[in-house]
Amino acid sequence: MSGPPAAVSDPVWIEAYLAWLATQRRAAALTLENYRRDLRRLHALSEGRDPGLMSAPELRRFVGRLHAQGLGGRSIARCLSAWRGLYRWLIRHQGLKHNPAEGIRAPKSPARLPRVLSPDQAKALLDAPADGLLECRDVAMFELFYSSGLRLSELSGLTLDDGLALGGGLVTVIGKRSKSRTVPVGSKAIEAVNAWLALRASLAATDCPLLFVTRSGTRMSPGAIRSRLALRADAVGLGVHVHPHMLRHSFASHVLQSSGDLRAVQELLGHASIRTTQIYTHLDFQHLAKVYDAAHPRARKR
């Protein structure tokens, strides 16, 4: 289910809260975009009422309506997280007495593992020759995604002035909570980025610091990168929908399968908690289970 249609202008409380998140919490652009969508849902469900006048039973009814409309448990949980954050801000800065969103739980969703590409699928996606300037840029973006396990916001924010040290095979990015991390860049990605750098000046303005730019020389938006990745996956006949985070998932899964080093994968991904990284152990077990089923003489189906 998609979010409510964009309003001509959002209410003052949405703009004020998002401005606080941007300046005081240094929330990333994608985080702010998600919060805006979830706060617009609250505004639409309440038919424009002041959020300070809403009660816990009303919010529970809103959750029920979202679920009835087909929104999944994880998406509703994200909505509730945004709503709770809003009410905490209202309590702290607007004198609200209580948080009606506290204690409200989202419906449970069945556990889902992240989808990943197989190594052969990743190879097919990245090895197909680049036809023209924009495809050269795209290959460089996607090689860097898969090579270094970057987040979408980290890749789109890369600049020439800092972060990229191809000579040393490293890239430094600013991740969540404005934390920086340095990760290796593989030889294929270095080759692809260097090929793009040789052509980049024909699109980018001389004062533009961004590594990846559009045909008009402006920053690649998250939506534009998603669209270009889906287009390439379709063009090479991959047969599956590929999104940027799938390349990050594939990076993590493939490194874990080869190394078995969960702590290293945690550091490479920039996860604050290893519990977040442990989901990839389930993917690794699925891979091992398939190998076992195919190889063990007492496991093979007759």
Q: Which residues are catalytic?
A: 151, 176, 245, 248, 271, 280
Nearest Cα to Cα of residue 92 among 21, 183, 191, 196: 21
Q: How far apart are CA 46 and CA 39, in angstroms?
A: 11
Q: For residue 126, which of 105, 106, 145, 104 has the smallest C-alpha distance?
A: 145
Alpha carbons 69 and 7: distance in angstroms, whole number: 20
Largest CA distance in the chain: 70
Task: Compute the half-sphere exposure of residue 242: CA atoms within 13 Å on the CB side of its CA.
Answer: 28
- Long-range pairs, 236-243, Cβ under 8 A, ≥24: 236/124, 236/125, 236/128, 237/124, 238/117, 238/121, 238/124, 238/125, 240/115, 240/117, 240/121, 242/117, 242/125
Q: How would you class 268 by CB atoms within 10 Å of its CB: exposed for 0-12, middle for 13-18, buried for 19 or more?
A: buried
Q: Which residues of 204-239 are buried (b: 16+ CB within 10 A; e: fewer)?
A: beeebebbbbbeeeeebeeeebeebbeebbeeeebe
Angle at 79 between CA 105 and CA 149, to 5 degrees: 110
